[in-house]
Structure 1
């Protein structure tokens, strides 16, 4: 790209009063004039925050990106955007994903930026940044923060998925409160996001399989010096991308999305992947729907032996060869000619990769598990779809009939789940309502409801669970999620009652309540909504405009893009 055509020159290349103001106020930071005289200006979109522990090392990572930008002849400008810390933010980080995406979109579009590096790690920071950047569509590259080192607790490797096991043991009295506290420090022992194939790692794999990052981005541990080296190289590469005018729309093709879906099946990725990829596709203008995510018929097995579906951790995955090895194994399924941010086809990312541990990364002939991916369910409970992750489920429950034990909302669930008088047994189906996008609001990760204590005491550790909410990517169990339409808008989930018979058949892809159409219609005619719409601020905007889970839970007015042209062009 001709330097005079750089977007940033619409600010720094101007004559007269406006150009004076743009340059003078940048110079008060000690920036010499030649840095603003035609160099590609690269924004570093940083989700650093001490309230987002997964991303708390990003100041340091940004410095490595800057070194690479300078090396390639660009000029870096770091800017903050809203950061979403999954472990702390209430009521749920998902409520604010769309707000953060708006922050990113407007920050890029309104400022003199020719290309952007997205620094993201914690679950929602990755999709929100990519969504926002996609709506502007300038040259963009992603640098993930990396997983934390594997936890070590009393001679065993542990990670986030063990939180659910420890919690059950603590509730049962098997694990003391003191041991529970010791495990906290043993698990989160380094910088980085969750060490398992949870949502954060799934998102890192998503961007690499989409072609939005350099090879090996997904799995390098945050504490490994090679993470900084990758950040440096990404900084250099984004400058070249600006000169080549390689934009997000050139990378995010329909074929790239299909690659990501197939890779997600093979890694045992989080069910949250669906809702985020749908939202990204809608921003960039690629037609994607729920049916595209049902990989059960594609013949793709589970190759990655990683928690929560398997045994190992992201650190092991990297040492075994990382995502390039897994993608090389999937070569027969992938669109190998899709262009990546490297400027080369995606098969160049993995053509020289070698597997160093076949117990961590299996082969098509000898996979870790023949059951993989995500099953999309349809039926009278979920006319627009629901999802289940078979690799994290109990095989004996994949075809199941049981009576419903209903919780009207999360407060009702918390009040009743450990009540000794709760009418529940091991064959029951737990049904949680009003946890969808509008109803909660924000669609929290509560779908993998805890097993009632009185059943844990009988040795029952899994049950069929159904909700319109989500589940942490670190969670596991026979859990049906993302039921659409949600209960809060009068979907069939809303009218299910205690004792109704629920029929789940994962193999057939169906989920139904044993009621006639007439019975369902009669109940719906008497149904009254429980949720209220907030009267102010962003939550009001969200509840008024958020779409259902099967559409990505984005706001209806954010689909498509704003483009890179600024709204006004003078002071």
Structure 2
């Protein structure tokens, strides 16, 4: 049988000077000659960094992948890309998602790899790596880092969702500082990303539902030895994918994206899911629009009882059967014939799954909440859309009319929110402008605005809040996000003034400010504040080319892919 010719042979299979250069310099790492005999070269794209605590255990995970690659007859080569630490990076990790995607794309295309394993976990590392890999379209498999173990404070399970409650309690004077710090030491007690259904967990579920990872990838705790087993098996499987030429474009079809949208609804996933999924679809050439969320997820209830929409943690989800247990409940809704990286369909992968704890994963006939998913709103305040997660909101506020309390930017908000003379009531609608993709820039997670101190003292725990920014997937509340167009590019949000009456109507999918078209036009003619353009560097590039939230906030010149062919060969 004729030996399969892999992409890496363009480097290592050459004779003469060129082949000598490629092989000789690799051999300085102690690699034997037979490693270059035509076996598949597997790139391990690693976002390990001590500045990304969620991913700080990835050195060990990469070694497990390598063992699997070797066992299956491949040649593993690990390479780093920029890592995005959600908890530390300023002004926001989202500013650099597109930059990392470019790093990934160019690193894969420029180097002699036949397939890639993406090691990602922290919020933006997953979409960034998948976006970059999609633009090259080689056989690709994702290994997530896994959630940390559930926190524990004085016998009570805690997670990052509790941070928002604890912060408000501290601001209200109900939680002493020494106790606040004691809880801080009890929350993040192992390697891994957030233990709740925040953005990191939502992204891990996204790649599993899309078919880009082996089953159970999403929920195995980072500290569980089975996470390394999954990494080892993933290393073995990527070699098989290369031999089968099972590329991303064969897996990431429109039905696969719809499966991921339905899964995200059922698990109560992050609103950030929408912006990242749209960006990935744009890279792989699948037609997907923000409006699709309303009809694709219609009728999908909340099945996973996980914080912030529920009670439990990712560790509990794994013990209850993992994401496959949830997907099995969705069998009547899913496109069960979608191919996945293990060569089986999503339906086949979940057919034998069982649920071991109905307190965590509900049957489809008896969901925890009939309201789930990401609802897309339209109206004169958000012509291109805005999103809200009803399962994390207060039911009484899902239909609400109130006067706007406007903050022009995040600095204005911070300066005035705790002013005892702030003219605000529980019925007010908090509006934050200029925190969108271009206006901030980078679209930070500040949309879940803190409740004014004077209202906290009165016992108010939720209000309608609207912004062109995002919020952490660990957060909750009646929060409208991703308003598009954003204020900084002339969107109607930038025209809203304190006292304007705003109506939120989630059941009817509308968000409206009580201003006539003529009044809006008159205010627009006066000129909203334009975003200041950075003088140089990546931030300037970002502001000049970032698209609006309803398009995924990717760069306009990165939509679509350019394949795996090397542009020029200098040797």
* Same-fold call, TM cutoff 0.5: yes
Q: Distance in 1 between matches of 2:478 and 2:300?
A: 20
Question: 2:262–2:297: 8 Å Cα contact kept in structure 1?
Answer: no
Question: 2:258–2:296: 8 Å Cα contact kept in structure 1?
Answer: no
Q: Establish whether residue 328 from structure 1 lines up as the match of residue 328 from structure 2.
A: yes
Match of 2:346 in 1: 346
Q: Establish whether residue 356 from structure 1 lines up as the match of residue 356 from structure 2.
A: yes
Identify if the C-alpha distance between structure 1 residues 22 and 2 changes in structure 2 by more than 3 Å, giving closer, same or farther: farther
Once the 2 structures are TM-superposed, how far is the Cα of residue 16 of structure 1 from its aligned partner?
A: 1.2
Q: Distance in 1 between matches of 2:2 and 2:301?
A: 47
Once the 2 structures are TM-superposed, how far is the Cα of residue 5 of structure 1 from its aligned partner?
A: 1.9
Question: 1:326–1:361: 8 Å Cα contact kept in structure 2?
Answer: yes
Match of 1:166 in 2: 166
Question: 1:3–1:40: 8 Å Cα contact kept in structure 2?
Answer: no
Q: Distance in 2 between matches of 1:213 and 1:21?
A: 35
Q: Distance in 1 between matches of 2:422 and 2:529?
A: 25
Identify if the C-alpha distance between structure 1 residues 281 and 296 changes in structure 2 by more than 3 Å, giving closer, same or farther: closer
Match of 1:47 in 2: 47
Q: Distance in 2 between matches of 1:194 and 1:365?
A: 29
Q: Establish whether residue 213 from structure 1 lines up as the match of residue 225 from structure 2.
A: no
Q: Distance in 2 between matches of 1:456 and 1:420?
A: 11
Match of 1:153 in 2: 153
Question: 1:296–1:374: 8 Å Cα contact kept in structure 2?
Answer: no
Measured on the aligned residues, the alpha-carbon RMSD in Å equals 1.0
Which range is displaced more, 176-185 or 540-549? 176-185
Match of 2:409 in 1: 409
Match of 2:234 in 1: 234
Q: Distance in 2 between matches of 1:170 and 1:154?
A: 18
Question: 1:42–1:115: 8 Å Cα contact kept in structure 2?
Answer: yes
Match of 2:460 in 1: 460
Match of 1:20 in 2: 20
Moved over 6 A (4+): none
Structure 1 alignment gaps of length 5 or more = none
SS of alignment partner, residue 406 of structure 2: strand
Which range is displaced more, 469-478 or 347-356? 347-356
Which range is displaced more, 176-185 or 260-269? 176-185
Question: 1:150–1:187: 8 Å Cα contact kept in structure 2?
Answer: yes
Question: 2:194–2:200: 8 Å Cα contact kept in structure 1?
Answer: yes
Aligned length: 571
Q: Distance in 2 between matches of 1:514 and 1:151?
A: 45
Identify if the C-alpha distance between structure 1 residues 382 and 495 changes in structure 2 by more than 3 Å, giving closer, same or farther: same
Question: 1:216–1:323: 8 Å Cα contact kept in structure 2?
Answer: yes
SS of alignment partner, residue 529 of structure 2: coil
Structure 2 alignment gaps of length 5 or more = none
Match of 1:426 in 2: 426
Q: Distance in 2 between matches of 1:296 and 1:415?
A: 41
Match of 2:525 in 1: 525
Once the 2 structures are TM-superposed, how far is the Cα of residue 570 of structure 1 from its aligned partner?
A: 2.8
- 1:183-214 superposed Cα distances (whole Å, 9 cap, x missing partner): 11100000000000000000000000000000
Q: Distance in 2 between matches of 1:228 and 1:13?
A: 33
Q: Distance in 2 between matches of 1:458 and 1:215?
A: 47
Once the 2 structures are TM-superposed, how far is the Cα of residue 492 of structure 1 from its aligned partner?
A: 0.3
Identify if the C-alpha distance between structure 1 residues 2 and 253 changes in structure 2 by more than 3 Å, giving closer, same or farther: farther
Match of 2:122 in 1: 122
Once the 2 structures are TM-superposed, how far is the Cα of residue 344 of structure 1 from its aligned partner?
A: 1.0
SS of alignment partner, residue 466 of structure 1: strand
Mapping 1:287-326, distance limit 5 Å? 287-295=287-295, 298-326=298-326
Once the 2 structures are TM-superposed, how far is the Cα of residue 530 of structure 1 from its aligned partner?
A: 4.1
SS of alignment partner, residue 431 of structure 1: strand
Q: Distance in 1 between matches of 2:401 and 2:297?
A: 24
Which range is displaced more, 499-508 or 176-185? 176-185
Match of 2:99 in 1: 99
SS of alignment partner, residue 27 of structure 1: helix
Q: Distance in 2 between matches of 1:284 and 1:528?
A: 36
Q: Distance in 2 between matches of 1:200 and 1:477?
A: 19
Match of 2:555 in 1: 555
Identify if the C-alpha distance between structure 1 residues 295 and 2 changes in structure 2 by more than 3 Å, giving closer, same or farther: farther
Question: 1:296–1:372: 8 Å Cα contact kept in structure 2?
Answer: no
- 1:500-537 superposed Cα distances (whole Å, 9 cap, x missing partner): 00011000000010000000000000024242111111
Match of 2:570 in 1: 570
Question: 2:13–2:19: 8 Å Cα contact kept in structure 1?
Answer: yes
Q: Distance in 2 between matches of 1:440 and 1:472?
A: 16
Provide TM-score, normalisation by structure 1: 0.99
SS of alignment partner, residue 383 of structure 2: coil
Once the 2 structures are TM-superposed, how far is the Cα of residue 567 of structure 1 from its aligned partner?
A: 1.2
Match of 1:370 in 2: 370
Once the 2 structures are TM-superposed, how far is the Cα of residue 297 of structure 1 from its aligned partner?
A: 6.5
Question: 1:146–1:192: 8 Å Cα contact kept in structure 2?
Answer: yes
SS of alignment partner, residue 383 of structure 1: strand
Q: Distance in 1 between matches of 2:31 and 2:110?
A: 21
Mapping 1:191-210, distance limit 5 Å? 191-210=191-210
Match of 2:7 in 1: 7
Once the 2 structures are TM-superposed, how far is the Cα of residue 4 of structure 1 from its aligned partner?
A: 4.8
Q: Establish whether residue 177 from structure 1 lines up as the match of residue 177 from structure 2.
A: yes
SS of alignment partner, residue 29 of structure 2: coil
Provide TM-score, normalisation by structure 2: 0.99
- 1:324-381 superposed Cα distances (whole Å, 9 cap, x missing partner): 0000000000000000001111112111111100010001111111111011000000
Once the 2 structures are TM-superposed, how far is the Cα of residue 296 of structure 1 from its aligned partner?
A: 8.1
Question: 1:295–1:373: 8 Å Cα contact kept in structure 2?
Answer: no
SS of alignment partner, residue 563 of structure 1: coil
Q: Distance in 2 between matches of 1:3 and 1:165?
A: 61
Question: 1:279–1:551: 8 Å Cα contact kept in structure 2?
Answer: yes
